[in-house]
Structure formats: structure tokens, C-alpha cells
Amino acid sequence: MSASGAIPRIRRALISVSDKGGLVDFARFLVNKGVEILSTGGSASLLAKNGIAVREVSDVTGFPEMLDGRVKTLHPKIHGGLLGVRGNRVHEEQMEQYGINPIDLVVVNLYPFEETVAAGSGFQDCVEQIDIGGPAMIRAAAKNHDSVTVVVDPSDYARVMEDMTVHDGATSHDLRRQLAAAAYARTACYDAAISNWFSRQVGSTFPSRMVLAGRLKQTMRYGENPHQSGAVYLTGEQRPGVATATQIQGKELSYNNFNDTDAAFELVAEFSQTACVIVKHANPCGVAVADTVREAYRKALSCDTESAFGGIVAFNRSLDAETAQDLCDLFLEVIIAPSVDPEASRILSAKKNVRVLVTPSLPDPRSRGVQVKAIAGGLLIQDRDILVAGEDLRVVTKRQPSEQEMRDMLFAFTVGKHVKSNAIVYARNLMTVGIGAGQMSRVNSSRIAALRAAQAAEANGESQSWAVGSVVSSDAFFPFADGLLAAAEAGATAVIQPGGSIRDEEVIKAADDAGLAMVFTGTRHFRH
């Protein structure tokens, strides 16, 4: 603030933007308030073309733009005007000595580096979109926010105009501080995007310094529980999913909705055939593959109609009217699919609170990426789990699995990858019939999955447990034979698991004694 304590009136503004939306109206407002406008390149041309008085920065610095526009504003007459402290006698004397005029408002947004990377541009094109002068001006103005207003987002033009109207051509200290915080956040995100991109270019998965950044998408009424606050941020990763989906109806998504929908959509994307996944509390309670969307949904629902109530339903094909009609019979939180047929959308509109999301495409389950988890004082970071069971399968029992058993085992093992450990999945005819999730002992997960299979049969009017004739998947090896024996007792005929226990031979013997076929994958899929 000035030495007198008065709110500094804006007399001179520097404008240099790549996003020119709303700029002409904002600049015209400034001129009407008596503000002198300095500008560069395309911004200056646009303003002049619209009859707005503008002074080229090169006239102020005495230097033309040079090096293909790489050097425009990197000059003491610009940065001195931004950083000089008003009311500081030494600063003011030096500014007068060198002919530096104060700059009170900076309007800058940065070269579209993130968009250039997202478009798949080549290395050199991306490098050329790394802004140098813009971040320097933004940071200088934000540092001196006691006297300088900095605007990095066109959405803030209205706030500045309103504040200047109220304060007779000046801005309030509160607004300048808020805008300074936004400015530093923007340059931090920009630098994070550059740093992470460069790390990928040199093949560094875990660089010595890891930078994470995001842009606020939505704040929520609360977080995982009502006493917690919550929000979701966009990281810029080009991966289809709930964060970037388009919501076509329903209430605002909650924290738990985002978490559960992400789990459902990532799992359904694993299948090339038509599939449906129903999730509750981030665990699948029903998964099925079928010839049609409706059949896949009905099979998935039949696995556990009780748990599906209030759940999330994900499809990997366009949602049709017939399936939409079935969906209306159940209370659901979220439905997500690559697209929704117009008639299906009309039918679902009768359930106005159901959140319906569409995505441009499915996430690629084989696409590399990282997963991040916060811990006290740090971050746990790992590669995304993209391995699938396939060529390395090894039959370890005397009995070979049938073709149908093998198909069901691969299906179950894929599902198990997305179930909280310890994870046991019973499956039959490309549908889950019982899932045991998140237990501290593997045998208890096996028993719970068998219980769910018996309950599924009963709910569908059958007396024989659906575990009979099923296959069983385990996300990690059986440390003892008890979990496998629980599956055999329930009626399972084949087992797929990673193997690798010191008691593998004991478990294999138990499988042989029970007449089971068993396959080792060599790949563990813990999920926590």
C-alpha cells in the first residue's frame, strides 16, 4: 500500500494474453477509467483494431520484440515498474533516475503449453510454447500485490471491473491478495506441467522432485463423511473417466460418487466384450459380460441385488432404451457410459436425481500412468497396474481346466484386480457369482464370497448355490490350503491365483485331492 495508506488507483496496465476472450470489453472499461494500456504483439493488434488506445511495450523499453518473440517484456523498465514499492523513497528515486513508470495492473495468461502437449504435438513445438516472460511478470506483480493487481484468468475480469467501480478506479487489498494467490497457483501449475512433461521425455518415472498440480473442478457439500470437506481437481491427464465426463442429468456428484464411479469405469474398460459393472463403496458387487447391454446389466445385477441398491452402474457400450427402462427399477446413485441413446436419456429423465455421465471414450487399461496416495509427511507413487493374465499362465494341477473354465478364470482374475485385498472372486459363465473383499485373512474372503454365491442363488429362486460349478480367483497366493479348500467345499471346480507361496506344493496337493484344476499367473494384484 502507498505511504499515505490510500488504496492505489490504477493508472497504467500491461496486457499480454494468449486467451483473448473478453479482452476488448475489459480494455475498453480500463480506458474509460483513465488507464493507460501497454501491450505486446497480438494483444496490442487486437486492441488497436477495436479502436482502443494502446502503447506498444517496445516504445517503453526502447527495444523491439526479438528472437522470434521470445524477448518482449524482459526489461528493467517493465519489471522495475512492477516490483518498485510505492512509498519506498529509495525505490521511487531509482525509478525516477532510470525513467521507470509504475505499472499498477498486469493482465497476463500464458502460452498454451498444456493444450499443445495434450494435442500430441512434437517435442520442439511443445518447447516453443513454454512461456518465459509471462510467468516472470505474473510473479513480479503478485509479489508486489500491495500495489499491483494481477489477473491471470479472463473469468476474473468481471471481479476487477466491479471492484474498480466500487473503489473509484482502484482495487481493494483483499482482491489483490486473492488474485496474487491465484497467480502463484497458476504459475505453479504451469511449471508442474512443464516439469512432468520433461520428466516423461527423458524417461524419468520418479524424478528427484515430483510436482503435482490440478485445477479446481468442483467443491462438494462434504467429503467422505459430513464432517469432512471435499473437492475434485483436474490434473490435465488425458484419460477418459469421471473427472472429465459430461454430466447430462442428476444432482451434483459427491466425493464418494467420484471415487466409486472411477472404480466402476476403470473396471468396465478392462473388457473388450459388452460388459456391465455395479460398484458399491469402490468394490464391485456385480460384473458380467454378455452379448447385449441389457443382458450384461441383468446378469451383473443378479449377482448381488441387495448390494446394488444405491450403487454405481458402468457400461462400456452405449446405453440403450431397454436397459434404461430396467435401470429405472432400482435406486442408483450414478450411471456412466461412453454415450446414452436419446430415448434412453428421455427414460432416465424420470429419475431426475440419478446422475448420468457420458465420456468420449473408454480409458485404456494398458496405458501407463501413475497412482498417488497421500501418507503422513509424504506421497506414495507407483505405476498403474496394467498387467493382465495371459501367455504366462501355468497349469500346476493334474487336471487341466476346460476352455469354459479358462475363460471364466481370466474373467474372474480381471475382476479381482479391481477388488480390495484380500480379494476372492467366484465366477461362472462370464459373470461374478460371489465376491469377498477387503478381509484381513484370505480364507475369510473365500468364505464370504461363497456365502454371497449361495445368497445370489436364493435371491434368484434357485436352491443350489451359484458357487457350484464356478471358478475362483485370488488376487494373491494362498498362504495355506484353507482358502482353496473353502472354495472346493462351496462347489468350485477351478482356481486361478498368482502362486509364489512357500506352501505352493501343499496348496497344489490340496487342489489335486479335491479334483480342482489350478492355474498360476505369476502376477499379483493387491489393491488397497
* Catalytic (active-site) positions: 143, 281
Sole residue written with cell 484380500? 422
Backbone torsions φ then ψ of 410, nearest 5 degrees: -65, -40
Question: Which CA distances in Å does 282 have to 76, 289, 348?
Answer: 55, 20, 23
CB-based contacts of 442, cutoff 8 Å, min separation 6? 422, 424, 474, 476, 478, 479, 483
Residues 14, 23: Cα–Cα separation, whole Å: 12
Q: What is the 3-state secondary structure (H, E, C) of 216-251?
A: EEEECCCCCCCCCCCEEEECCCCCCCCCCCEEEECC
- Looking at 241-319, list the stretches that DSSP marks H as alpha helix, in order from N- to C-terminal side: 255-268, 293-303, 305-308
CB contact at 8 A, 438 and 420 = yes
For the chain, the first-to-last Cα distance in angstroms comes to 51
CB-based contacts of 408, cutoff 8 Å, min separation 6? 427, 428, 429, 430, 470, 471, 494
Q: Which neighbouring-strand residues pair with 474?
A: 424
- Looking at 312-365, list the stretches that DSSP marks H as alpha helix, in order from N- to C-terminal side: 321-327, 342-348
Residues 268, 406: Cα–Cα separation, whole Å: 20
Q: Determine if the peptide bond prior to 32 is cis (ω within 30°).
A: no
